[in-house]
Amino acid sequence: MPVIFIDKKPYEVKAGKNLLEASLALGFDLPYFCWHPSLGSVGACRQCAVKVFRDENDTTGRLVMSCMEGVKDGLHFSINDKTAKAFREQIIEWLMTNHPHDCPVCDEGGSCHLQDMTVMTGHDYRRYEYKKRTYHNQYLGPLIHHEMNRCIQCYRCVRYYRDYAGGDDLNVFAAHNHVYFGREKDGVLQSPFSGNLAEVCPTGVFTDKTLKEHYTRKWDLTMAPSVCQHCSVGCNTIAGERYGKLRAILNRYNGEVNGSFLCDRGRFGYEFVNSENRVQQPLIRHRPGEAVNELDLMRYMEASLPHSKLIGIGSPRASMESNFALRQLVGANNFYEGIGEDEAYLTRKVINVLASGSVHSVSLKEIEQADAILILGEDIWNTAPMMALAVRQAVIKTAAREGAEKLGLPVWQDAAIKEFVQDEKGLLVSVTVSASSLDDITTHKIHAAPDDIARLGFAIAHELNPSAQRVPDTDTEFRTQARTLAKALDKAKRPVIISGLSSYNESIIKAAFDIAASLNTSTIKAGIAYVLPECNSMGLAMMEAPSFDHAVTRVKRETGITAVIVENDLYRHMPSADADTFLSHCANVIAFDSLHNRTTEKANVLVPAATFAEGDGTLVNYEGRGQRFYQVFVPPNPFFKESWKWLIEMQLLKLQTSNGHNHPPEELLEKLEAALPQFKGISKVALPHDYSVHGERIPREPHRYSGRTSMLADISVSEPKPMQDNDSPLSFTMEGYKGNPPSSAIPFFWSPGWNSGQSVMKYQEEPGGALRGGDPGIRMFHDKAEEKITYFKDIPEAFKQRHEKWVLVPQYHVLGSGELSIYTKAIEELSPQPFVAISADDAVELNVKNGDMLKLFVDDKMHVLPVKVQGDIVNGVALVSAGLRGAEVMNWGAWVKIEKTNSGL
Partner 1 sequence: MERPLTKHIDLNRPPLNLKEYEQVGGYEAVRKVLKGMTPVEVQKLVQDSNLKGRGGAGFNTGLKWSFVPMGPEALHPKYIIANADEMEPGTFKDRLLLEGNPHQLIEGMILSAYAIQADISYIFLRWAYKKAAILIRKSIAEAYEAGYLGQNILGSKWGLEMHLHTGVGRYMCGEETALLNALEGKRATPRAKPPFPQVSGLFGKPTIVNNVETFCCVPHIINNGADWFKGLSKSEDGGTKLYGVSGRVKKPGCWELPMGVTMRELIEVHAGGMQDGYEFKGALPGGASTDFLTTEHWDVKMDFKSVAAAGSRLGTGTMVVLDDATCPVGFVHNLQHFFAQESCGWCTPCREGLPWVEKILLNMEKGHGRMEDLELLDMHTKMLGPGNTFCALAPGAMEPLQSALKYFRDDFVRHIVEGKCPWHTATETPKRFAESLMV
794-796-797 Cα angle (round to 5): 135
* Residue number, 63 or 734, with CB nearest to partner 1: 63
* Residue number, 172 or 446, with CB nearest to partner 1: 172
Measured from the CB of residue 49, what is the shortest distance to partner 1 in angstroms? 7
* Residue number, 45 or 346, with CB nearest to partner 1: 45
In degrees and rounded to multiples of 5, residue 236 shows phi and psi of: -85, 135
Task: Report which DSSP code applies to 357.
Answer: -
* Residue number, 171 or 443, with CB nearest to partner 1: 171
Measured from the CB of residue 755, what is the shortest distance to partner 1 in angstroms? 22
**Residue 215 amino acid letter:** Y
* Residue number, 409 or 770, with CB nearest to partner 1: 409
* Residue number, 174 or 713, with CB nearest to partner 1: 174
For the sheet containing 617-620, what is the strand order?
617-620, 625-629, 778-779
* Residue number, 97 or 658, with CB nearest to partner 1: 97
The CA distance from 534 to 317, in Å, is 6
Of 667, 535, 635, 683, nearest to 236 by C-alpha is: 535
* Residue number, 178 or 556, with CB nearest to partner 1: 178
| Whole-number Cα distances in Å, 3 to 12, 16, 50, 59, 63 | 4, 12, 17, 20, 20
The CA distance from 316 to 324, in Å, is 12
* Residue number, 176 or 661, with CB nearest to partner 1: 176
The CA distance from 355 to 498, in Å, is 16
Q: How far is CA 839 from the centre of its chain?
A: 32
Which residues contact partner 1 by CB under 8 A?
Answer: 42-47, 49, 62-64, 68, 86-87, 90-91, 94-95, 97-98, 127-128, 130, 152-153, 155, 172, 174-179, 407, 409, 413, 415-416, 419-422
The CA distance from 843 to 866, in Å, is 12
The CA distance from 330 to 566, in Å, is 12
Measured from the CB of residue 451, what is the shortest distance to partner 1 in angstroms? 42
Measured from the CB of residue 487, what is the shortest distance to partner 1 in angstroms? 25
Q: Would you give the end-to-end CA distance of the chain in angstroms?
A: 75
**Residue 782 amino acid letter:** H
The CA distance from 42 to 65, in Å, is 10
Measured from the CB of residue 403, what is the shortest distance to partner 1 in angstroms? 8
* Residue number, 62 or 793, with CB nearest to partner 1: 62
Measured from the CB of residue 68, what is the shortest distance to partner 1 in angstroms? 6
The CA distance from 600 to 614, in Å, is 20
Measured from the CB of residue 3, what is the shortest distance to partner 1 in angstroms? 24
Q: Where are the beta strands (DSSP E) in 98-146?
A: 144-146
Measured from the CB of residue 421, what is the shortest distance to partner 1 in angstroms? 7
Measured from the CB of residue 197, what is the shortest distance to partner 1 in angstroms? 19
Concatenated DSSP letters for 534-549? STTHHHHHHT----HH
Measured from the CB of residue 412, what is the shortest distance to partner 1 in angstroms? 12
* Residue number, 177 or 833, with CB nearest to partner 1: 177
Task: Report which DSSP code applies to 724.
Answer: P
The CA distance from 38 to 23, in Å, is 17
Measured from the CB of residue 167, what is the shortest distance to partner 1 in angstroms? 17
Of 450, 472, 469, 479, nearest to 517 by C-alpha is: 469
In degrees and rounded to multiples of 5, residue 364 shows phi and psi of: -60, -35
